[in-house]
Amino acid sequence: MHFRVYRYDPDKDAKPYMQDYDVELEPTDQMLLDALVRIKEQDDTLSLRRSCREGVCGSDAMNINGKNGLACVTKVADLKQPIELRPLPGLPVIRDLIVDMTQFFKQYHSIKPYLINNDRPPERERLQSPEDREELNGLYECILCACCSTSCPSFWWNPDKFVGPAGLLQAYRFIADSRDQAINERLDNLEDPYRLFRCHSIMNCVDVCPKGLNPTEAIGKIKDLMVKRTV
């Protein structure tokens, strides 16, 4: 199986280059991550992040044949050869397939990704009706792998100002939460031509999300709420 992998070690390389690898896969090597582990057996200088190897931790997000995805849940048999692997686009490369996600998490933290409720916490838990809980489906499942935000041109152009699809999906996750008391502050925080309205609904985020979530829909719902409280 033929691979072309993006290589860059800032300590040694003047600029990035693509390295070819040919690997024999075992029958048990079903996923792209398995193949990458084989490549690492050949060449242990190749650097990549990985952890749970089953699409839960979100560590091994990368650009696979031009489309962002998780190596651990991408079937190697479905990919056209040579399989081109690059780091997530738009973020600074630390080394090989590892990117610096500081900017991504800065935007995530800017939406205050935690429940804000000033009432005294009850002895056991804050209760929700099943209908209210239903609202959080399709939102809470995000694993913050950054596939969506790094496939979004608006995030490429303005990563310091635009929250990005992952952050906005999480913003709506707390806006939609019936236990949260800061909905107005959250909407105030997003009502900005850069933070929210850089989204032009091109839906790259929906196309790449490995969990099948829909940030564009969540962003639309935030805009709907803004309209509702304004007009």
Partner 1 sequence: MVNRVVVGAHYGLTAWLAQRVSAVVMAVYSLVFVVKVLMLPQLNYETWRGLFTPGWMRFMTFLFLLSIMVHAWVGMRDIWMDYIKSTGLRLTLQVGTILWLVGCTGWAMQILWRV
* Residue linked to tokens 């029958």: 27
- Smallest CA-to-CA distance from 89 within 199, 220, 204, 196 is with 204
Determine if 228 is a binding residue for partner 1 (CB under 8 A): no
Residue appearing with tokens 């995530």: 108
Q: Tell me the three state secondary structure of residue 221.
A: helix
Which CB sits closer to partner 1, 16 or 153?
Answer: 153
30-59 positions binding partner 1, by CB under 8 A: none
Q: How many residues bind partner 1 (CB under 8 A)?
A: 22
Among 9, 109, 117, 194, interactor with partner 1 by CB under 8 A: 194
Site for partner 1 in 136-165 (CB under 8 A): 153-154, 157-158, 160-161
Helix (H, G, I), strand (E, B) or coil at 218: helix
| Closer to partner 1 by Cβ: residue 30 or 158 | 158
For partner 1, the closer of residues 67 and 200 by Cβ is 200
Q: Which is nearer to partner 1, 145 or 196 (CB)?
A: 196
Q: Mention every residue, 6+ apart, whose C-beta is less than 8 A from residue 33.
A: 50, 53, 60, 71, 72, 74
| Of 196, 205, 208, 218, the one binding partner 1 by CB under 8 A | 196
* Cα 126 to Cα 177, 179, 205, distances in angstroms: 11, 7, 32
Separation of alpha carbons 98 and 84, rounded Å: 15
* 193 interacts with partner 1 by CB under 8 A: yes
The kind and range of the H/E element at 227 are helix 215-230
Asked if residue 230 binds partner 1 (CB under 8 A), the reply is yes
| Binding stretches for partner 1 (CB under 8 A) | 153-154, 157-158, 160-161, 188-189, 191-198, 200, 223, 226-227, 230-231
